[in-house]
Chain A
Amino acid sequence: MSAIVESHRHDANARSLDVVGALVRRTMLRVRRMPSAFIPSLIMPVFQLIAFSGAFGAAVRMLNIDPMNWYMPLNAIQGASFGALGVSFGLLNDMETGFFDRVLMAPMRRSVIVFGAYAAAIARSIVPVTFVILVSFLGGLHTPGGPLAILMVVIASVMVALSASGLALGLTFRMRNLGAATLTQFAIFFGIFLSTSQVPLASMSGWLRACARVNPMTNILRFARQGFLGDITWDQTWGGLVAMTLMLVVSTIFALTGLRRYDR
C-alpha cells in the first residue's frame, strides 16, 4: 500500500515539475513574441548603471569607492526585480483571456502555479542581471572579493526578484488588474531607494538614514556589494541571507493565500 502511495507521490512530483517547465517555456515564448515588453527591463538597468555611476559617481568616489563597483549590484537587483515583474503581466493576461481558469482546472497542486511563476521569474531575471554584469565589466568593474562576488550579486538579484514576483502575484490574484504590477513597481522602487542605494549609511543624514537602517534592502545590498568593495565575510553575509529568506517566505505566503482567495 505504502509503495502505491509513494509511487503516486512520485508521479505528482514529476507532473508538478513538468508543469513548472511548461510555465517557464510559456513565459520565455511570450518574451520572444513580445520583445518590446521585455527590452525596457533589459535596457533601463544598464542605463541607470551608466547614469548613476556617471552622475553620482563623485559622491562615492570621495569615499574612495569605485562608482561602477558600488552601483552595479544595485542595478542588477533592480533590473532583476523589474524583469521578474513580467510574470504578473503574464498572469493578468491569462486571467483576461480565460487561460488561467483552464490552468486551475488542471489536475495539479495549486502551489505549482506560484512556483512555476517563480521559475519563470528566475529565467526572466537572469537575463538583465547577466547584461548588467557584462556591461559593468566593460565599464571597469573589478572584483576584489574574487569570482564569488559575482555569485553573491546573482543570488541577491534572484532572491529579490522572487520576492517581487511573490508580491506581484499576491496582488494580481487579489486585485485582478494592472494596478497590481504598478503597486509592486512602487514597492520595489521605494524599497530599493530608501536603503543604501546611493551612498553608504555613514554618509547619509536625517530621515533617510533612519529608514535605511531598518530597511532589509540595506542588508541585501551589503551582501551583494561586499565582494566588489573588499573581501567576502560572514559578518556582511548573514544579515542579507536572513533578509532575503524572510522576504521570500512572506511574499510566497502572500502569493499562496492570494491564489486561495482567487480560487474561492
Chain B
Amino acid sequence: MSVATTALHSAQLTKRSVRGRLRQPAALAPAFIFPLFFAALGSASFNRLAQDPYFSANIATSFLNYAVAGAVVQGVLFGATSAASDLATDIEQGFFERLLASPISRVSIVLGRLAASMVVGVTQVVVFMTLFIIFGARVKSGPLGVVGLIVSGALLGLAMAGLMAAIAIKSGSPEVVQGSFPLVFVLLFLSSAFFPRHYMTGWYRTVADWNPMSHIVEGMQGFMNHDLAADQFVKAWLIPLAVAVIGIAFALRSLNKRLAAT
C-alpha cells in the first residue's frame, strides 16, 4: 500500500480513536483531574520552598511554575496508557480482527492509535497551560516556549503510547496494560517531576539522575522557567523522540508477530 493510503487510513483510525476517547469522559477524566490536583497540591504545600534562594535563582519563580511540567507529563502518561488500553480492548472484543479482515493498511492500525495519543497529548498541554496561566503561571521563554511544551507533550504521548501499544498488542488484554501503569508511575515518582533533583539525597537522587524522565521534565521546565536554550529542545524533544522510535518499533514488531500467529 502507498504511503498516501496508509496516511489516509491512519487519519481515519485516529479520528475513530479520538472520538472513542471523547465518548468515555470517565476514562479521560483522570488524565486531567489528577495532574491538575497534584500540581495544585504541590504548589500549596511546597510554595515556601520557592523562598529558598537556590530554588528562586535556578529552578523556578514559584512552585506552580515548577509543577506545570510535571503535571503535563503525568497527564500525557495517563492518556497514553488509556489509549493503549483501548487498543487492547479492540483486540479482546474482536474489532482488531475485523480491521485485519478489511482492506486496510496494517501499520495504520497502530499508527492511528498513536496519532490519537498525540492529539490527546496536545489537547492536554493546551488545557493545562491555559488553566495554569489563569492561576498565575508564566512561560518565561515566551510563545516559542509554549510551542516547545506542546510539541514535547505530543512526542511524549507518542513515545509512551508506542511502548504501551507494544504491550497491548502482545498481551491483547486491557488488564495487562492497566497493570503495567504502576511501572510508569514509579518512573514518574523516581524523577524530578514533582520535586527538584537538587534537593534529593542518597540513592533516590542517583536514580533520579539516571531516570530519563527527569531530563524530559527538566527540558519542559526549562521552557517554563528559563530563556530559550538548545538543551531544552534536546531534553524535551529528542529524548521522547528516541523513546518513540523504540516504542513504535516494538509495537510494529508485536503487530507482525500477532499477524503471523493469526
Contacts and interface: CB of A to CB of B under 8 A. Distances in A.
Interface of A: 40, 44, 47, 50-51, 54-59, 62, 190, 193-194, 198-199, 203-209
Nearest to A190: B37
B48 A58 contact: no
B46 interface: yes
A47 B186 contact: yes
A59 B37 CA distance: 19
Contacts of A194: 41
B96 interface: no
Candidate in A47, A56, A194 with the most chain B CB atoms within 10 angstroms: A56
A203 to B, nearest CB: 5
Given A47-B186, A57-B199, A198-B45, 13 more contacts: A51-B190, A55-B195, A59-B45, A59-B46, A62-B49, A62-B52, A194-B41, A199-B46, A203-B45, A206-B47, A208-B44, A208-B45, A209-B44
A52 to B, nearest CB: 9
Contacts of B47: 205-206
Contacts of B199: 57-59
Contact of A208 (B41, B182, B186): B41
Interface of A is mostly: helix
29 contacts: A40-B182, A44-B182, A47-B189, A50-B204, A54-B200, A55-B189, A55-B194, A55-B200, A56-B46, A56-B195, A57-B199, A57-B204, A58-B49, A58-B199, A58-B200, A59-B45, A59-B199, A62-B48, A193-B41, A198-B41, A198-B45, A204-B45, A205-B44, A205-B47, A205-B48, A206-B44, A207-B40, A208-B40, A208-B41
B201 interface: yes
Interface string B205-219: 000000000000000
B72 to A, nearest CB: 18
Give the interface residue-count category, chain B: 20 to 34
Contacts of B194: 55-56
A79 to B, nearest CB: 15
A196 B251 CA distance: 43
A220 to B, nearest CB: 18
Interface string B45-58: 11111001000000
B207 to A, nearest CB: 8
B113 to A, nearest CB: 25
B48 A203 contact: yes
Contacts of A190: 37
A76 to B, nearest CB: 18
Nearest to A194: B41
Contacts of A193: 37, 41
Candidate in B40, B45, B49, B201 with the most chain A CB atoms within 10 angstroms: B45
A197 B53 CA distance: 25
B200 A59 contact: no
A192 to B, nearest CB: 11
Interface in B157-197: 182, 186, 189-190, 194-195
B52 to A, nearest CB: 8
A54 B201 CA distance: 7
Contacts of A55: 189, 194-195, 200, 204
Contacts of A44: 182
Nearest to B195: A55
Contacts of A199: 45-46, 48
B40 to A, nearest CB: 8
Contacts of A59: 45-46, 48-49, 195, 199
Contacts of B201: 57-58
Nearest to A36: B179
B46 to A, nearest CB: 5
Candidate in A47, A59, A194, A209 with the most chain B CB atoms within 10 angstroms: A59
B204 to A, nearest CB: 3
Interface string B29-70: 000000001001110111111001000000000000000000
A26 B189 CA distance: 36
Which 9 residue pairs of A and B lie closest in terms of their CB atoms, listed nearest first?
Answer: A54-B204, A208-B44, A58-B199, A51-B189, A198-B45, A55-B195, A199-B45, A205-B47, A59-B46
Nearest to B196: A58
A124 B116 CA distance: 41
Contacts of B195: 55-56, 58-59
A199 B42 CA distance: 10
A259 B77 CA distance: 39
Contacts of B49: 58-59, 62
Nearest to A52: B189
Interface string B197-240: 00111101000000000000000000000000000000000000
Contacts of B40: 207-208
A147 to B, nearest CB: 28
